[in-house]
């Protein structure tokens, strides 16, 4: 039997010959029962006066020569007093235990979710802001790591990735929330130290100062021209920027809008409270250019319930474009505006507010155009929403933007008290 060859084994398989145990010699056996898909190598030995059997694998995975070599190595270990079958079972049990431990391990993603559920939801005024930082920045970077495995180097890499994409303010926010999340884990006895504790704002986006950037009329002319000329800057992106300027709304409010919120025939956008920073619903009057832009977007949406539906299959959970889409898109436009100081999407709101003031719009009306709460005693007692006044203000602002889009520009004529 010791001279058995692979040819003989293959002939057994071909003939369908079945057997329980055939000795190959030196403790090596071959089994080929009816229930076996392929012949099975087995190693038999005695240790401590007891007979032991160990499966080595199927013939398809282990040739005759390899099986003999394995059996020889196992005999040597048995001679040294090792119970090789028991050791194999222990290794298998350890591997299974490790896999189970991995499934039950506390990851940063799980810790973040628990922190959000217990410390933010129902307590924080704007929970979606925190949820956004967790889902868009923390989880993609370190979410799969076990909390005890997170090192300061992981935190640094996460922050620098955000800074490099041109979002220093978000990097600061992520650092703040990461520190709070890990502090929560320490309090709950889930980890021993906070890997983000050594970092401050200088390691993230830097100390923040109030922005004062607003685009001038000349810069708006350049912006519209650059958007038309930039390669890879889509028509949908141009309409999005135009709407952000026309309506002075927040980026998240626009990209997350559903068509059900709009009545284009009545030229009004009913923005629900749950999607506003002020947590108060507001009806936004739509000037004619805004209605035209929205009708174009409705055509391009191809039946989607979203004004800006996701443009390709994505692995994230949102059905509309990502908030960062416009930031990336504008990076293709800015090189075509040499000499223009840096600006970001949020600066469009400040641009609208600045020009509304230049156009003579009363401050309280301009503030309501941006959906800002009126401050002081007047804000407490005055519940008038200035809808018609806001409509007139936005119509005048739309005319100014149209002139910029045409590259013409025109002289501002204030109308300070003509709005009633």
| pLDDT, tens digit, 9 for 90 and up, residues 231-290 | 999 999 999 999 999 999 999 999 999 999 999 999 999 999 888 877 788 999 999 999
pLDDT of residue 211: 64
β-pair partners for 283: 270
Question: Could you please report the per-residue DSSP string of 169-205?
Answer: HHHHHHHHHHHHHHHHHHHTTS-SS-TTTT--GGGTT
DSSP assignment letter at 342: P
Half-sphere exposure in the Cβ direction for 159 (13 Å, CA): 25
Determine whether 212 is exposed, middle or buried from the number of CB atoms within 10 Å of its CB (0-12, 13-18, 19+).
exposed
282-285, strands of its sheet edge to edge: 262-263, 268-271, 282-285
Delimit the domains of the chain by residue range.
Answer: 6-104, 108-203, 217-405
pLDDT of residue 285: 97
pLDDT in tens, the chain (420 residues): 446 788 888 888 888 888 888 888 889 999 999 888 889 999 999 998 899 999 998 987 888 999 999 999 999 999 999 999 999 988 888 887 777 666 678 999 999 999 999 999 887 767 888 898 999 999 999 999 999 999 999 999 999 999 888 788 889 999 999 999 999 999 999 999 999 998 988 888 776 555 678 999 999 999 999 999 999 999 999 999 999 999 999 999 999 999 999 999 999 999 998 888 777 889 999 999 999 999 999 999 999 999 999 876 544 557 888 877 898 899 999 999 998 998 989 899 999 999 999 999 999 999 999 998 776 545 444 546 899 999 999 999 999 999 999 987 554 444 444 444
Distance CA 39, CA 19 (A): 9
* Neighbouring residues of 77: CB distance < 8 A, sequence distance ≥ 6: 84
CATH number assigned to the domain covering 217-405: 1.10.443.10
pLDDT of residue 414: 42
Count of residues in the chain:
420
pLDDT of residue 97: 74
Distance CA 187, CA 182 (A): 9
β-pair partners for 346: none
CATH topology of domain 108-203: DNA polymerase; domain 1 (1.10.150)
Distance CA 296, CA 307 (A): 10
Alpha carbon of residue 325 to chain centroid: 12
Residue 417 tokens read as: 């008290």
pLDDT of residue 19: 87
Question: Could you please report the per-residue DSSP string of 207-248?
Answer: ----------HHHHHHHHHHHHH-TT--HHHHHHHHHHHHH-
CB 347 within 8 A of CB 223: no
Q: How far is CA 93 from CA 47, 51, 58, 373, in A?
A: 21, 22, 21, 63
Residue 194 tokens read as: 């906070």
- Asked if CATH classification 3.30.160.390 holds for the domain at 6-104, the reply, yes or no, is yes
């Amino acid at each position: 039997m010791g001279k058995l060859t692979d040819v003989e084994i293959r002939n057994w398989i071909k003939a369908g010959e079945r057997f329980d145990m055939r000795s190959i010699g030196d403790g090596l056996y071959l089994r080929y029962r009816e229930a076996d898909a392929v012949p099975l190598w087995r190693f038999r030995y005695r240790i401590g006066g007891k007979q032991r059997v160990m499966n080595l694998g199927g013939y398809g995975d282990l040739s005759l020569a390899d099986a003999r070599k394995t059996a020889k190595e196992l005999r040597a270990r048995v001679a040294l007093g090792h119970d090789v079958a028991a050791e194999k079972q222990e290794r298998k049990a350890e591997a299974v235990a490790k896999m189970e431990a991995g499934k039950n391990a506390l990851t940063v993603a799980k810790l973040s979710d628990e922190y959000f559920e217990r410390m933010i939801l129902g307590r924080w005024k704007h929970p979606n802001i925190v949820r956004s930082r967790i889902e868009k920045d923390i989880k993609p970077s370190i979410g799969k790591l076990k909390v005890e495995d997170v090192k300061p180097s992981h935190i640094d890499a996460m922050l620098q990735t955000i800074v490099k994409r041109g979002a220093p303010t978000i990097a600061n926010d992520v650092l703040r929330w990461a520190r709070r999340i890990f502090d929560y884990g320490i309090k709950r006895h889930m980890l021993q130290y906070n890997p983000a504790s050594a970092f401050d704002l200088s390691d993230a986006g830097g100390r923040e100062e109030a922005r004062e950037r607003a685009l001038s009329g000349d810069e708006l002319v350049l912006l519209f021209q650059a958007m038309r000329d930039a390669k890879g800057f889509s028509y949908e992106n141009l309409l999005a920027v135009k709407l952000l300027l026309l309506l002075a709304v927040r980026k998240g409010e626009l990209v997350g809008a559903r068509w059900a919120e709009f009545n284009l025939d009545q030229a009004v956008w009913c923005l629900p409270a749950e999607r506003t920073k002020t947590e108060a619903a507001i009806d936004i009057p739509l000037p004619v250019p805004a209605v035209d832009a929205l009708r174009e977007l409705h055509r391009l949406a191809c039946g989607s319930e979203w004004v800006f539906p996701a443009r390709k299959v994505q692995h994230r959970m949102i059905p509309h474009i990502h908030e960062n889409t416009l930031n990336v898109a504008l990076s293709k436009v800015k090189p075509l505006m040499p000499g223009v100081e840096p600006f970001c999407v949020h600066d469009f709101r400040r641009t609208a507010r600045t020009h509304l003031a230049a156009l003579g719009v009363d401050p309280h009306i301009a503030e309501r155009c941006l959906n800002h709460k009126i401050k002081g005693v007047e804000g407490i007692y005055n519940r008038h929403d200035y809808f018609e006044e806001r409509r007139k203000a936005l119509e005048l602002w739309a005319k100014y933007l149209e002139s910029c889009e045409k590259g013409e520009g025109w002289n501002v004529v204030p109308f300070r008290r003509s709005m009633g």
